[in-house]
């Protein structure tokens, strides 16, 4: 009877095939983990960007709604000429409750609020903005109101804008769209 000594695992060597398989499996796992991390980071950045844009848009709309509702009447609508001679479209100018002009102006992707000697930036990264003016009277059988061409007949202001930002140089779903119809209460 021959007694053989069991082999210890410490003498066993790692072969080239074992090492190659282990490296391939590790590379696949690391690639999947890296892809998931990059995708998650972009998603979280997009959500944070969207929430920030939405909050700023809502804040700008709240300020405009408050100011327009408290205004006495609309003075001007349409285009305006700046001090540097440039023409700006999408301008609304109201006679405010304190008898001073209040202007909302869209230029160079920025929505501004101008009152007396103060200029406040309400919104940046604005891709599109439009103001429309209406009478208060509804069109029979609808929820629409009659449009008006003159500021003196304006009782209702419609404002719409689209804001967006890019993340890492690419435009993702980080867009905020706001639309509101605001009644001038004092008219």
Total-model pTM: 0.73
Is residue 15 one of the residues assigned to a domain? no
pLDDT tens profile 49-70:
888 888 999 999 999 999 999 9
How many domains would you assign to the chain?
1
The torsion defined by the Cα of 106, 110, 113 and 119, in degrees rounded to 10, comes to -130
In a domain? residue 84: yes
- In a domain? residue 105: yes
Within-domain flag for 82: yes
The residue segments making up the domain with residue 72 are: 30-183
CA angle 138, 76, 139 (to 5 degrees): 10
Give per-residue pLDDT as tens, 116-142: 889 999 998 888 888 889 988 888 888
**Residue 14 lies inside a defined structural domain of this protein:** no
The per-residue pLDDT for range 12-32, each reduced to its tens digit, is 677 888 899 999 999 999 999
The span from the CA of 148 to the CA of 133, in Å, is 6
């Amino acid at each position: 009877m021959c007694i053989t000594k069991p082999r210890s695992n410490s003498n066993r060597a790692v072969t080239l095939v074992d090492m190659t398989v282990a490296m391939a499996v590790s590379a696949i796992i690391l690639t999947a983990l890296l892809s998931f991390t990059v995708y998650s980071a972009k998603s979280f950045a997009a959500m944070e960007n969207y929430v920030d844009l939405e909050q700023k848009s809502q804040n700008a709309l709240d300020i405009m709604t408050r100011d327009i509702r408290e205004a006495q009447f609309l003075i001007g609508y349409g285009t305006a000429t700046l001090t540097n001679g440039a023409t700006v479209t999408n301008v609304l100018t109201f006679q405010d409750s304190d008898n001073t002009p209040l202007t909302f102006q869209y230029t160079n992707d920025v929505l501004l609020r101008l009152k007396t000697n103060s200029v406040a930036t309400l919104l940046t990264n604005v891709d599109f903005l439009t103001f429309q003016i209406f009478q208060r009277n509804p069109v029979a059988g609808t929820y629409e109101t009659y449009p008006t061409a003159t500021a003196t007949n304006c009782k209702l202001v419609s404002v719409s804008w689209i804001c967006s930002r890019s993340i890492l140089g690419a435009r993702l779903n980080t867009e905020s769209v706001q639309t509101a119809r605001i009644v001038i209460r004092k008219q």
